[in-house]
């Protein structure tokens, strides 16, 4: 081989990961993973389940933060339009503004 060492490892699936698995170098899989049977270590399963639950919760928080940021950006972008719409009192005025905005968006997309 060219200076790399081949090592046989037995892995236990640990569920979702939020960050990378190893900090040094890279890992290559040669061949196909095979089922090695159930792990008899109940403590390991409990620790992996706890890590999986933590990672899942963290990913949900990241998604929620991202969605909040998008929503906040949209709220900020639409704020001037809301100021224009605030003094409109009649349905006809509101309909005219809505039609104007829709027409502008339609023209932009086409």
- pLDDT on residue 11: 73
Low-confidence ranges of the chain (pLDDT < 70): 1-3, 14-27, 39-40
Closest CA to 12 of 31, 32, 38, 43: 38
- pLDDT on residue 64: 92
- pLDDT on residue 74: 86
Rounded CA separation 109/86 (Å): 27
- pLDDT on residue 82: 93
- pLDDT on residue 44: 82
Task: Indicate the burial class of 86 (C-beta count within 10 angstroms; 0-12, 13-18, 19 or more).
Answer: exposed
Task: Indicate the burial class of 33 (C-beta count within 10 angstroms; 0-12, 13-18, 19 or more).
Answer: exposed
Predicted TM-score of the model (pTM) = 0.44
């Amino acid at each position: 081989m060219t200076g790399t060492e081949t090592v046989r490892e037995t892995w236990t699936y640990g569920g979702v990961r939020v960050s990378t698995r190893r900090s040094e170098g890279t890992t290559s899989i040669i061949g196909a993973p095979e089922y090695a049977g159930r792990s008899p270590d109940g403590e390991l399963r409990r620790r992996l389940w706890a890590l999986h639950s933590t990672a899942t919760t963290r990913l949900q928080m990241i998604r929620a933060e991202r969605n909040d940021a998008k929503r906040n950006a949209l709220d900020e972008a639409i704020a001037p339009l809301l100021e224009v719409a605030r003094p409109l009192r009649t349905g006809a005025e509101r309909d005219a503004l809505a039609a104007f905005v829709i027409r502008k968006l339609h023209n932009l997309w086409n």
